Amino acid sequence: MANLTGLRARGDHNGDRENDGDRGGNGGAHGRGGGAVGGGLPGAVAAEWTKLWSLRSTWWALFAAFGVMGLMSAILATSTASNNTNAITTDDQGVVQVSGIAVGATDLVQFVLIALAILMITGEYATGSIRTTLQWVPLRDRMLAAKAAVTAAVMLPAGVALGVLGTAVAEPLLGRWGRLSAGDAVADVLAVGVYLALTCVFILGVGTVLRSTAGALTTAFLLLMAVPMLLVNSSVKALGYVADALPSTAGRHFMAGEGGPYPPAVGLLILAAWAVASLALGTVVLRRRDA
């Protein structure tokens, strides 16, 4: 008896246990009240949040994202400035929106955050901890919704902060070739946050369906980078329309503002639709599949 310290510690719990008596019998009532006393979607979100920040890889990924953003913005800004001042006149870009540099750098920076979003689900399949997660939160839609909520909640502010960093790095390097208006800068920086949040949620769904880190990363690269590039450069016009409907292209039109084939809001809608669709598919697959 003496060495069962834990059970002594459990004494107070056993106390209330006796009071709530036959749990199986009044299960229905308990079930309805269940969400209010803890657990539920808020619990699932809290658990995912705790899980995300307790992994070193999360901190590394964010650190890397900021590093890549700083570097990319510096490169883009200096090349813009040198293009405008070199002897070749065909590559001149003139005076550019400073925050537009951050938007441009997002094309590359996104992959670091995408890797983080993918690992949130494929990392669990790789380590077998998906079974633990589903033991805590057995409802598949709730589990995935919690991951999506945490992904968005991390990526949106991270994206905004990245946008600010990119803009701050680009401003002095662009010098007289940069144009900085508060309104446009805020819009651009917010757009980067929204774009990264939606793209990462989209890719989370892809990771859920594919389960493998390598598979999901490859898919992300093909779908967000390679395929749109091939389609846009093809001579067939219809393929260009297809490219415009892909998530990354839609996202770019959204971030670029007016001047695209459709208004930025439509780009946002298309990207959001991809995110919702991939989450829906992920949920369906999760429900059907054994963990």
Partner 1 sequence: MITLRGLTKRYGDKAAVSDLSLEIAPGKVTGFLGPNGAGKSTTMRMILGLDRPTAGEALIGGRPYAALPRPLTEVGALLDAKAVHPGRSARAHLTAMARSNGIPVRRVDEVLETVGLTAVAGRRAGSFSLGMGQRLGIAGALLGDPRVLMFDEPVNGLDPDGVLWVRRLMRSLAAEGRTVFVSSHLMSEMQLTADQLVVIGKGRLLADAPVTEVIAASSRNAVRIRTPRPGELAARLAAEPMPLQVTRSDAGELAGDGERADERAGELIVTGAPIERIGMICHEIGVPLYELSPQEASLEEAYMELTGTSVEYGAGAPQKAGV
Minimum CB separation from partner 1 for residue 57, in Å?
7
Does position 43 interact with partner 1 (CB under 8 A)? The reply is: yes
Q: Which residues inside 50-79 make contact with partner 1, applying CB under 8 A? A: 50-51, 54-57
Does position 19 interact with partner 1 (CB under 8 A)? The reply is: no
Does position 21 interact with partner 1 (CB under 8 A)? The reply is: no
Minimum CB separation from partner 1 for residue 232, in Å?
39
262 vs 253: CA distance, rounded Å: 8
187 vs 191: CA distance, rounded Å: 6
Q: Which residue, 57 or 93, is less far from partner 1 as judged by CB?
A: 57
Does position 46 interact with partner 1 (CB under 8 A)? The reply is: yes
Minimum CB separation from partner 1 for residue 67, in Å?
21
168 vs 73: CA distance, rounded Å: 9
According to CB under 8 A, which one of 39, 215, 240, 263 is a site residue for partner 1?
39
Cβ atoms within 10 Å, residue 244: 20
Cβ-contact 167, 185 below 8 angstroms: yes
Q: Which residues inside 139-178 make contact with partner 1, applying CB under 8 A? A: 139
Minimum CB separation from partner 1 for residue 128, in Å?
4
According to CB under 8 A, which one of 21, 24, 183, 259 is a site residue for partner 1?
24
Minimum CB separation from partner 1 for residue 212, in Å?
17
Does position 40 interact with partner 1 (CB under 8 A)? The reply is: yes
Q: How far is CA 251 from the centre of its chain?
A: 13
Our CA angle for 170, 176, 181, nearest 5°, is 65
Q: Which residues inside 108-137 make contact with partner 1, applying CB under 8 A? A: 123-124, 127-132, 134-137
Written as one letter, the residue type at 275 is A
Cβ-contact 207, 121 below 8 angstroms: yes
- Of 228, 255, 250, nearest to 239 (Cα)? 228
Q: Which residue, 38 or 259, is less far from partner 1 as judged by CB?
A: 38
268 vs 266: CA distance, rounded Å: 5
Options 30-38, 147-155, 161-169, 233-241: segment touching partner 1 (CB under 8 A): 30-38
Options 24-32, 73-81, 189-197, 203-211: segment touching partner 1 (CB under 8 A): 24-32
Minimum CB separation from partner 1 for residue 290, in Å?
4
Q: DSSP for 31-45?
A: HHHGGGGS-HHHHHH
| Exposure string for 46-55, b = 16+ CB within 10 A, e = fewer | ebbeebbeee
Q: Which residue, 49 or 262, is less far from partner 1 as judged by CB?
A: 49
Q: What residues contact 137, with CB distance under 8 A and at least 6 apart?
A: 43, 44, 47, 143, 146
Q: Which residues sit at the interface with partner 1, rule CB under 8 A?
A: 3-7, 9-10, 13-14, 17, 23-24, 27, 30-31, 33-35, 37-40, 43-44, 46-48, 50-51, 54-57, 123-124, 127-132, 134-139, 288, 290-291
